[in-house]
Structure 1
Amino acid sequence: MKLVLEILTGVLFVVEVGEGCTVAGLKDAIAAQEELPRDRIIFVLEGDPGRTIRRGEDGVPIVELGFRHGSHVYLFLEPEEDNGDDP
């Protein structure tokens, strides 16, 4: 299935994954294709109402969350955690 992803900057790209793909698999495909940090990826699925997919749902098949061929998905990156090392 092909998904259209849009990053906050307005950049669009297409990722193709299998029907049985999980959230983790989609993150892996995006990380490999777009060189983004997979552990910080958050999805917001377009729709009424929209659906936010965060950590803890990595093992869930994306079709169970409403992803379909041609879905428009917004991709955000969680802010990096502050480890308190800055002066």
Structure 2
Amino acid sequence: MKLSVEIITGTFIDTVVSENATVKQLKEKISTEVKLPVRRLILVFGNEEERRMLMDDEDEIMLRDLGMREDSHMYLFIKNLDLVSMEERSLEGDDVSMEEISSEAESRRRENEEDEKVKIDGEDEDKQMKNEEEEEKEKDREDTKDDDNAEEEAREVEELGDEKEET
């Protein structure tokens, strides 16, 4: 049967699987087409009133038992690598709940955003300091010009005074 899979990016994949295909077989087929490991794929199917995410423990269910028919439409989401590695650790025996995994992934995301903000703020401070230094240099140049002009005027006044004395 032909199925239409819409990737979150808006790209469509039309794939053909047998009438007796399982969720796992569909994921494996999609995995080769999108060049991502099966463990990173999240499939969502159903109509507008009732959408459903296919869980990993449903991999052995046949697609037809889920109500998928010829030209059924589903959505493909991709798990973040951090989330996948934390899930794998929890399966290896670490007693970590999905809430903790999600919380840890969210914390890392926030830390990355804060690091980026600090980096941007630091760059802004550098720009501001450079601007202030340029303004200071410009002011010094103007002061130097004013001093030079004042000296020039003083010399001219002195020369005029000397000329009057001579006459």
The interval holding the TM-score normalised by the smaller chain is: 0.7 to 0.9
> Equivalents in 1 of 2:31, 2:78: separation in Å?
12
Counterpart residue number, 2:32? 32
Counterparts of 1:34 and 1:24, CA distance in 2: 15
Larger relative contact order (Cα-Cα within 8 Å, sequence gap ≥ 6) = 1
Residue 7 (structure 1) aligned with residue 7 (structure 2): yes
Give 1:44's aligned amino acid: V
Look up the match of 2:51: 50
Aligned to 1:77: 78
> What amino acid is the match of 2:60?
G
**Count of matched residue positions in the alignment of Structure 1 and Structure 2:** 85
Report which of the two has the higher share of helix: 2
C-alpha RMSD of the superposition: 1.8
Amino acid at match of 2:12: L
Shift of 1:78: 2.1
State the secondary structure of the residue aligned to 2:58. Answer: coil
Gaps of 5+ in 2: 87-103, 109-167
* Structure 1: segments with no counterpart, 5+ residues: none
Deviations 1:12-37 (A, max 9, x none): 11010000000000011111122122
Poorly superposed stretches of 4+, deviation over 4 Å:
none
More strand as a share of residues: 1
% identical aligned pairs: 35
Cα separation, 1, equivalents of 2:46 and 2:60 = 21
CA–CA separation in structure 1 for the residues paired with 2:61 and 2:51:
17
The more displaced of 60-69 and 19-28 is 60-69
